[in-house]
Amino acid sequence: MSGWKPIALIAEDVQAGRVTASELVEQSLAAIKEHAEFKAIIATLEAAAIARAKAIDERIAKGETIGRLAGVPFIAKDNFLVFGAETTAASNILKGFDAPYQSTAVERLEAEGAICVAKANLDAFAHGSSTENSDFYTTLNPHDKARVPGGSSGGSAASVVLQLAPFALGSDTGGSIRLPASFTGCVGYKPTYGLVSRSGVVAMGSSLDCVGPLANSVEDAALVLDVMAGRDAWDSTTIERDKEGYVVAAPTEMQGVKIGIIKEYMGEGLDPGVKARIDAAIEALKNAGAEISEVSLPSLPLGLAVYYVLTPAEVSSNLSRYDGQRYGHHTPDAKDVNESYTQTRMTGFGAEAKRRIMVGTYVLSSGYYDAYYKKAQTVRTKVIREFAEAFEHYDFLLGPTAPMTAFEIGANVDDPLQMYLTDIMTVAANLAGVPAISIPCGLSENLPVGLQLFAAQKHDRELLALAAKAEELIS
């Protein structure tokens, strides 16, 4: 696996003529073919990427300035609308769907000269923690082909670790960027809710969905975020970007930084090998001058239950648009429109999508709304308040990204509850809307472990600077 230079240096080389965008795209496409056995990619945008690279090279030859991502190849999770290939969200029900427009995130990256070369595999509609819920195939972990890469952005994470491109895009509704980053050993960033537009990204849980980068370093992730962040007229939930931006000018110095270790994430159920790596990272931060102590957020153990009430409720609403009448898969021999709806959804949706639709419509139904959905929203408010209170005393919070390392393919397929427990340490950041990052923090039995860091809402710049220093200390 030949490594890529830092993204900023790649763009500098392209702008200066030391390497061409065409050469970089060819390198990326060759790597995709070489590592096809890992099943990280659903489709390549070969023709479109080669044409775009050629156009960039011609502009540079004329002396034009391209942008901060000039010629840099990247891979988009296949729930991002992108020109040049179908957008399926890894679901049979969207087979044959060509996007009529591109996602805002992709548009902003391309405006700075980046080139999308491929679409990455995921759990269908981003429902899952392992990519085993993809309707096409399971992506393999680059460290051990018998294990999952995490999910739902498993293809994106594997692409980065396999060096198929310098960075990839993911979406994170309950840990879908951070969990695969932890399982595969790369950096995964979930920004403050609303910082990056979700326009043109297939919706899952709209009050939780976030768009973010997966990359080889915090520096690279910060640059990609800086390009994508900010208000967008096509997404009313977007917020203003930080006036100072998100590029890491210098890592945070640890002296006097107050970090809280989340008590609820360090106890029962945490794999001893994972705990050892997190403890070692904590020690390194302490030795660098950070003031670290334990903090309790007592509602966190309820977070997973809250998440798996609210998310299916929003999923059941968002998936209702897939009816076979306007786009994607449909059953042509149906006798009437009701049979068309039924047959399309029965054959087009996978088991996990159907499960979430049924759970979601149940918790929203008359007679159960107050008992489940309303109560879950009440507890969500408690989680939000507990994070806010913790950040009155601490600059950042810390814990593992996941309680375990990557599990074997098939280990949890027949046990949805066990699969859902994989997200136990990541869902709270989405419920509270706070930024969170997973950075590699060593290996346990030759498998990567992720350290998760949190900051208060809209403190993304500070979190990235801290993560850059932590990366430096524990690498």
Q: Which of 152, 171, 182, 438 is catalytic?
A: 152
**Amino acid (1-letter code) at residue 121:** N
Active site residue 152: yes
Active site residue 77: yes
Residue 369 DSSP one-character state: I
Q: Which of 22, 28, 39, 77 is catalytic?
A: 77
Q: Which helix (H) or strand (E) holds 265?
A: none
Rounded Cα distance between 110 and 104, Å, is: 10
Rg of the chain over CA atoms, in angstroms?
21
Burial group, residue 2, by CB count within 10 angstroms (0-12, 13-18, 19+): exposed
Sign of CA dihedral 257, 262, 266, 271: negative
Characterise 271 by phi-psi region: left (phi > 0), alpha (psi -120 to 50), beta (else): beta
What's the first-to-final CA gap in the chain, in angstroms?
A: 19
Rounded Cα distance between 425 and 307, Å, is: 12
Closest CA to 56 of 9, 86, 19: 19
Rounded Cα distance between 425 and 156, Å, is: 20
Residues 7/215, Cβ–Cβ less than 8 Å = yes
Q: Which of 103, 129, 171, 176 is catalytic?
A: 176
Which positions are annotated as active-site residues? 77, 152, 176
